Amino acid sequence: MSRNLYSVLGVNKNAETAEIRTAYKQLAKEHHPDKGGDPEKFKELSQAHEVLSDETRRRTYDMTGSISEQEQAQAQNPFGGMGMPGMPGMFSHMFGGMFPGGPMGGPSPMGGPGQRRREGKSPGKNQDIPLRLIDFYQGRNLSIKLGRQCFCKTCKGSGGTSSRTCEQCGGRGQLNQVVQMGPIQMVSQTPCPPCNGKGQQTLGKCPSCLGRGMSHEEKTMEVKVEPGMMPGNTLVFSGMCSDHPSFTEAGDVTVILREADEDDIDTARWSREGSRLKTTVTVNLTEALLGTIKMIKGHPGYPKGVPIDISVGIQNMSVGTFPGLGMPIRGTPRHGDAIITVLVVPTEAEITALKSNGALFKAFMPAATSAVDANATVSLNVGKWTT
């Protein structure tokens, strides 16, 4: 289900369980298939009610914004609902905990207030940040504000006002189960259901978080992009994910630097390959023959343009290497090379001048060699050239 569950039932996020149930009953009557309602809409209402009316599942949904983890946890429990008491604990005892999680060997993967948490960090998340070429060249500092769910500081994530020792397990968090298999009697331990294996039962409802065990807070990530960093480089911010009821530590946020589309047409003509910058420059026939100085715009280190010397008689598709005009090399004062390709494109005026003054050009230019004998009679093939 991708829609917000609270919106499905038409209630706000702080609604009491009784209000949620009332809203569901009213909408269920309206959309029930037996009364001509939409079956898919009714299914959506029922699923929203099922999650939000269960305190544990509601806390998990409030924290993750999704019910996929809950459905996955149920799908991963192949023994759920099979009516085989003692079997999961027996397998856990026999195979040394080969089946962690859920009833087969540990706390439920659902987690939640008052439930045993696994040691370590929860799964992390990735965040892409698009940057322009100038940001990678000069470096940039970014402050990114993010909202996260954290364990309530009042109840420390329990959701209650106090706790007491579980009467059923005596505070051990485990119950012994005896399984008789023919002449063999096996004793295994399973998490205590009333206290979810914690040994303590939560009482009351925390006034700060209304029993959810979670609260909202704002944090800021200071992202420092160093000159010379590349698309695909990552920055890790430890513990910046939301707290997860199934883990003792919050996961990490990994910032991934990405290349953004350039708004400036001149900058868009430059491309990057590692520490090198590549572009093309167009010259006319006169400039190619006599040489010139071209000012190439769009270079991230030269706002007014970078001057490039075009040598006399340069040929079309000539490639020049210019040391130190490339990208900064991260962590050093050095820069890479700029690779510039020359495109020779005669102007219309130059083409007209060549046609009308062909004899004059031939008088001072070296004699052209022909592949065809001047005295031979041949049929000349004339085609149409495109540029």
Domains and CATH numbers, the chain: 5-53 (1.10.287.110), 87-259 (2.60.260.20), 265-348 (2.60.260.20)
What's the number of CA atoms in the CB half-sphere (13 Å) around residue 61? 21
pTM for this structure?
0.61
Give the confidence band of 245 by pLDDT, cuts at 50, 70, 90: confident
Q: Which of 40-44, 226-230, 381-385 has the lowest mean pLDDT?
A: 381-385
Taking residues 163-179, report their average pLDDT: 83
Give the confidence band of 65 by pLDDT, cuts at 50, 70, 90: low
Average pLDDT for the chain = 81
Q: Is the pLDDT of residue 50 over 80?
A: yes
Residue 340: what pLDDT? Answer: 96
Single-letter code of the amino acid located at 139: G
Contact assessment for residue 81 and residue 174, using Cβ atoms and an 8 Å cutoff: no
Taking residues 134-142, report their average pLDDT: 97
* Rounded Cα distance, 315 and 219, in Å: 58
- Report CA dihedral (32, 33, 36, 40) to the nearest 10 degrees: 90
Contact assessment for residue 175 and residue 168, using Cβ atoms and an 8 Å cutoff: yes
* Rounded Cα distance, 40 and 60, in Å: 24
Q: Is the pLDDT of residue 113 over 60?
A: no
Residue 385: what pLDDT? Answer: 61
Q: Is the pLDDT of residue 55 over 70?
A: yes
Residue with tokens 């009697």: 185
State the distance between the two ends of the chain, measured CA to CA, in whole angstroms: 55
Angle formed by the axes of helices 39-52 and 17-31, nearest 10°: 170
Q: Is the pLDDT of residue 274 over 90?
A: yes
Taking residues 85-103, report their average pLDDT: 35
CA–chain centroid gap for 90, Å, is: 41
Residue 289: what pLDDT? Answer: 93
DSSP 104: G
Residue 193: what pLDDT? Answer: 84
**Nearest alpha carbon to residue 24 among 1, 2, 6:** 6
| DSSP track, 26-88 | HHHHHH-GGGT--HHHHHHHHHHHHHHTSHHHHHHHHHHS-SHHHHHHHHT-TTTTS--TTHH
Q: Which of 200-204, 222-226, 259-263, 274-278 has the lowest mean pLDDT?
A: 200-204
Taking residues 93-117, report their average pLDDT: 39
Beta strands 335-344 and 319-328: pairing type?
antiparallel
Taking residues 5-25, report their average pLDDT: 87
Token pair of 265, please?
Answer: 């047409």
Residue with tokens 């996260």: 148
Across 14-18, 40-44, 141-145, 374-378, which has the greatest mean pLDDT?
Answer: 141-145
Each residue of 332-365: pLDDT tens digit? Answer: 999 999 999 999 999 999 999 888 887 777 777 7
